[in-house]
C-alpha cells in the first residue's frame, strides 16, 4: 500500500531532541515555499500561532505541548513554587494567542498537570516527564487521526464526491488529518473519491493548503471559490460534506472555519449529509452550546488585502472578520471521532465518549 502521507507533511511540527529545538513549517508561505522556522522564545511561539504559521486545532495543541516543555526549561529554578508560577504565566500567555480552538488550552492543561504532579522531582526527571508528555500528545494525535480517517472513510463509497472547507489535513494535525484523512486513506487503497475544496476566504487555507496537500497526494481534487459550493451541490456532484472542527460544545454545536455553517445550511437544502471530523480533544464538555464558544475576531486587513498584500478595498472601509462560525448541531449528520461516530442526540452520544474517563 503506498504511503500517501509521506508526500504530505508528516513533519509539520518537529522536535529535535539533541539540539532541544522546535521547528514548524511556516504555513503562511505555502504553497510557494516550504520553509521550516525555529521557535525559541515565548514571543515567537505566540506570534507563530497568532499569525497562523502553525494552525489547525490539533496542530496548535501539538505545538503547544513542545512549547510548554521549552518554556519549562527556561523557567527552571530550584524554587519550585516560583517555577510553577512562571510556567503558569507563560502558559496563560500562550493560551491567549488564539481563543477558539480548545486543543490549545487542552494541551497546555495536560502539560501543567504533569508539571504539578512532578513538581518535587529533580530537574531532569521533571523536564523529561514534560518532554514525554509533549511527545505523547503528538503521537496520540497520529493514532487518533488514523482512526478518525478510517471511520470517515466508512461513510463513503467508490466514486463519491465530497466537499470540504478550510484545511483539516496533515498540516493541521500530525499525519493524515481529520476531515481530509479519509481522502488520503482512500487514495492509498486505490479508491476514487472526488474532492471539492472550498478556497476558504479570507486566508485561503483551502486553496493554499488543502488543494496543495491533496494534489500532491494524488487525490482527485477540484478547487472552488466558497460561493461555488451551491452550484456544485445542485449539480449532484457532492454526496457528503466533511469538515474539521475547532471546538465542539456538549450539545454538538460546532465551531469551525468561517463559512462552515453556510456550507451546512446549503447541504441541508440539497439533502446532503454534513459530517464533522475531529479528535475528542476538540470536544469541550464544559461548553454547553455554540453561544458559549469564543469566536476569534481577526484583523480587517485580512479581508482588505489579498494574502499576497494587494489592496482589494478602500483602506477606510469597515470590515467584520470572524475567523470561525458555529454550525448548529441539528445540521450535523454525525460527529466522527477516534472513538467512533456520534449521532444525535449529541448531548448523550458525546457524553458517552468520556464515560471511561470518570
Ligand atoms: O484558522 P485556522 O486555519 O487555524 O482554522 C482551521 C480550521 O478551522 C480547521 O478546520 C480546524 O482547526 C480543524 S483542523 C484538523
- CATH number for the domain spanning 9: value is 1.20.120.420
pTM: 0.95
Residues 165 and 248 in one domain: yes
Pocket test for ligand 1, best of 60, 245, 307 (most atoms within 8 A of CB): 245
Structure confidence at residue 2 (pLDDT): 62
The ipTM, to two decimals, is: 0.98
Is 290:194 a contact under the CB 8 Å cutoff?
Answer: no
Task: Say how many Å lie between the CA of residue 179 and the centre of ligand 1.
Answer: 10
Helix-helix angle 80-95:57-75, to 10 degrees: 150
What CA–CA distances, in Å, run from 67 to 17, 64, 89, 350? 13, 5, 13, 30
Structure confidence at residue 356 (pLDDT): 77
Question: Among 8-12, 141-145, 164-168, whose mean pLDDT is lowest?
Answer: 8-12
Of the CA atoms within 13 Å of residue 239, those in its CB half-sphere come to 10
How many percent of the chain have pLDDT more than 90?
A: 92
Structure confidence at residue 321 (pLDDT): 95
Domain with residue 317: its CATH number is: 3.40.50.10470
Pocket test for ligand 1, best of 175, 205, 255 (most atoms within 8 A of CB): 205
Residues 161 and 114 in one domain: no
Q: What is the pLDDT of residues 254-308, one digit of tens each?
A: 999 999 999 999 999 999 999 999 999 999 999 999 999 999 999 999 999 876 6
Residues 128 and 155 in one domain: no
- Residues with Cβ within 8 Å of residue 88, at least 6 apart in sequence: 112
Residues 110 and 194 in one domain: no
Residues 103 and 213 in one domain: no
Catalytic residue among 246, 253, 284, 325: 246
Domain-terminating residue out of 145, 180, 197? 145
Is 35:28 a contact under the CB 8 Å cutoff?
Answer: no
For the CA of 324, the closest atom of ligand 1 is 8
Number of domains in the chain: 2
Is 242:277 a contact under the CB 8 Å cutoff?
Answer: yes
Mean pLDDT of all residues belonging to the chain: 95
The domain in which residue 138 lies consists of 5-145
* Count of beta carbons in the 10 Å neighbourhood of residue 298: 18
* 257 membership: H or E segment, kind and range: strand 254-257
- What are the cell numbers at 191? 479508491
What CA–CA distances, in Å, run from 341 to 228, 344, 354, 357? 29, 10, 14, 18
Supply the DSSP symbol for 193.
-
Structure confidence at residue 10 (pLDDT): 57
248: which strand partners? 254, 283
Q: What is the pLDDT of residues 118-139, one digit of tens each?
A: 999 999 999 999 999 999 999 9
Amino acid at each position: 500500500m503506498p504511503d500517501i502521507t509521506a508526500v504530505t507533511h508528516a513533519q509539520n511540527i518537529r522536535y529535535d531532541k539533541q539540539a532541544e529545538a522546535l521547528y514548524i513549517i511556516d504555513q503562511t508561505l505555502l504553497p510557494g515555499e516550504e520553509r521550516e522556522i525555529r521557535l525559541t522564545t515565548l514571543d515567537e511561539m505566540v506570534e507563530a500561532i497568532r499569525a497562523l504559521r502553525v494552525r489547525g486545532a490539533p496542530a496548535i495543541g501539538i505545538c503547544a505541548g513542545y512549547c510548554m516543555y521549552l518554556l519549562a526549561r527556561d523557567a527552571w529554578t530550584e524554587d519550585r513554587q516560583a517555577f510553577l508560577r512562571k510556567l503558569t504565566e507563560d502558559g496563560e500567555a500562550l493560551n491567549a494567542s488564539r481563543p477558539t480552538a480548545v486543543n490549545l488550552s487542552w494541551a497546555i492543561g495536560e502539560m501543567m498537570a504533569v508539571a504539578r504532579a512532578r513538581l518535587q522531582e529533580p530537574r531532569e526527571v521533571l523536564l523529561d516527564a514534560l518532554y514525554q508528555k509533549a511527545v505523547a500528545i503528538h503521537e496520540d494525535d497520529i493514532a487518533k487521526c488514523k482512526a478518525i480517517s478510517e471511520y470517515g472513510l466508512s461513510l463513503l463509497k467508490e466514486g463519491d464526491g465530497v466537499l470540504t472547507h478550510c484545511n483539516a489535513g496533515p498540516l493541521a494535525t500530525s499525519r493524515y488529518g481529520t476531515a481530509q484523512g479519509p481522502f488520503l486513506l482512500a487514495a492509498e487503497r486505490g479508491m476514487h473519491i472526488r474532492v471539492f475544496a472550498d478556497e476558504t476566504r479570507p486566508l485561503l487555507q483551502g486553496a493554499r493548503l488543502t488543494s496543495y496537500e491533496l494534489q500532491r497526494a494524488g487525490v482527485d481534487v477540484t478547487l472552488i471559490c466558497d460561493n461555488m459550493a451551491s452550484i456544485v451541490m445542485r449539480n449532484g456532484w457532492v454526496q457528503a460534506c466533511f469538515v474539521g472542527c475547532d471546538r465542539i460544545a456538549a450539545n454538538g454545536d460546532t465551531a469551525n472555519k468561517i463559512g462552515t455553517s453556510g456550507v451546512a445550511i446549503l447541504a441541508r437544502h440539497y439533502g446532503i449529509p454534513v459530517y464533522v471530523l475531529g479528535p475528542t480533544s476538540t470536544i469541550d464538555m464544559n461548553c454547553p452550546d455554540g453561544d458559549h464558544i469564543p469566536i476569534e475576531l481577526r484583523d480587517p486587513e485580512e479581508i482588505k488585502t489579498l494574502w499576497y498584500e494587494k489592496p482589494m478595498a478602500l483602506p477606510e472601509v469597515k470590515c467584520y472578520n470572524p475567523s470561525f462560525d458555529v454550525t448548529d448541531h441539528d445540521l450535523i449528520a454525525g460527529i466522527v471521532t477516534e472513538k467512533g461516530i456520534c449521532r444525535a442526540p449529541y448531548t448523550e452520544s458525546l457524553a458517552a465518549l468520556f464515560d471511561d474517563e470518570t
